[in-house]
Amino acid sequence: MKLLLVEDSERLRETVRRGLEAEGFTVDTAVDGIEGRSFLETYEYDLMVLDLMLPRMDGLALLRVMPSAAVQPRVLVLSARDQVQDRVTALDSGADDYLVKPFAFDELLARLHALARRPKLAHAPELEIGPLRIDLRAHRVCVGANTLSLTPREFALLVLLARHRGRVFSRSEILERVAGSDSRASDRSIEVLVFGLRRKLASAIGDDLIQTRRGAGYLIP
């Protein structure tokens, strides 16, 4: 499995590189977005681990100008930015997953393995589920000519479940991915978030798109 690691911290870059190589990955490293883009233009990768706060060209800019190809690497953003809008923006820009620093290496490894199991497809600017169209770049959800009014967290939750259709996400996973470091967030707030999103989707498409797995979590089948 070939992986590109784009990280400007030499200490973290080398620690992650050694850890991934010990797990059987072939790892190239880049120190900024310009070098990362050069690697992407020259070689093919299965996965990319990408920091956002990079010199010369930041991670978001690299995501947006990734070389065109029929098949692109799955991208895991690894960043100290932990706000909801940071996650939404990264996902909108083409990232497949988002992990906040500091992190446990075992979790990084597990997420990379999960991304590696997904079929490699070209990144699409939109996701479609029945009549629902999710525009990842414009941060907009439409049904026909009508645009749904979603909060940033509702949009982040919908994108999370839509990108991983069939996978059950527990409340704690949703809390970590959608709420970030917000100390006011709780399991109860996730219930309220899911309820609100369900109500808006049901009103727009007449269907309960999000399903509950009792004792496990939520998914879009």
pLDDT digits (tens, 9 = 90+) for 78-115: 999 888 888 888 887 888 899 999 999 999 999 999 99
pLDDT at 143 over 60: yes
Count of Cβ atoms closer than 10 Å to residue 215 Cβ: 6
Q: How far apart are CA 176 and CA 170, in angstroms?
A: 10
Closest alpha carbon to 163 in 191, 217, 123: 123
Q: Per-residue confidence at 1, pLDDT binned at 50, 70, 90? A: confident
Do residues 139 and 88 lie in contact, with contact meaning Cβ atoms separated by under 8 Å? yes
pLDDT at 147 over 80: yes
pLDDT at 120 over 50: yes
Task: Dihedral sign for Cα 186, 189, 195, 199, please.
Answer: negative
pLDDT score, position 91: 85
Do residues 157 and 178 lie in contact, with contact meaning Cβ atoms separated by under 8 Å? yes
pLDDT score, position 163: 78
pLDDT in tens, 162-209: 877 888 888 888 887 776 545 466 778 889 999 999 999 999 998 888
Reading across the β-sheet that carries 2-6, which strands appear in turn?
A: 26-30, 2-6, 47-50, 74-79, 97-100
pLDDT score, position 181: 47
Burial class (CB in 10 A: 0-12, 13-18, 19+), 192: exposed
pLDDT score, position 183: 47
The more confidently predicted of residues 32 and 1 is 32
Do residues 166 and 211 lie in contact, with contact meaning Cβ atoms separated by under 8 Å? no
